[in-house]
A = this chain, B = another copy of it.
Amino acid sequence: MNEAKKDNTEEKILNAAQTVFTQKGMDGTRMQEIADEAGINKALLHYYFRSKQKLFEAIFSKVFSQIFPDIKSLIYSEKPIDEKLGVFIEKYIDLLMRNPFLPTFILKEVNRDPEFLASVIKKQGINPADILQLLEKEMEKGQIRKMDPRDLMINILSLSIFPFASRPLMQIMFFSNDKKAYKEFLVQRKETVKSFVLNSILLK
């Protein structure tokens, strides 16, 4: 039957499911709420996705793949290391600005069901070895300070992601709950994180 319409409904469901799941997590999400958000009824929802678990797995995989931006084009470019890292940080924070619920969602679900996480990582063939190798090479060349490259990688991720994951807390604690001010703060972090990191690791 109508492929276009089918696709459309399926897409509507996936979008709705992502909206609700990423904001409320697996435990906090109700199938009825996804149906409402998609503008359809519960029966049709189960007609497309047999169970909540199946739907959740589809969403998690989709979202998880999003949090790994196209690193490869960066790694194999000819730019100097400081520029590479700078672009990475900018792109990553940009990604989170567009998807502010991703960090909390991933952290929540990753802790709830680590086994499923492992299967997703395996299935998606994610491999961070390349970037660690790149960092190590730059350390040997004397471009950046010698350290465990995993520390450096995790530091960059921490500085980029945590302010999003802890948004309500930081907003109250340091910005008098001023939503706009905190958003502006996050935008500027594209620059402040960059210089914080580079000041720490760049030699000469």
Contacts and interface: CB of A to CB of B under 8 A. Distances in A.
Nearest to A117: B168
A118 B172 contact: yes
A155 interface: yes
A197 B200 contact: yes
Contacts of A150: 174-175, 185
A159 B156 CA distance: 9
A30 B104 CA distance: 22
Total identical chains: 2
Contacts of A201: 196, 199
Interface residues of A, number: 52
B126 A173 contact: yes
The SS class assigned to the A binding surface is helix
A153 interface: yes
A169 B106 contact: yes
Contacts of A43: none
A132 B158 CA distance: 21
Given A157-B162, A165-B165, 18 more contacts: A25-B27, A25-B108, A104-B111, A107-B107, A107-B166, A107-B169, A111-B167, A114-B172, A121-B172, A121-B173, A126-B173, A132-B174, A145-B199, A150-B174, A151-B192, A154-B170, A158-B163, A196-B201
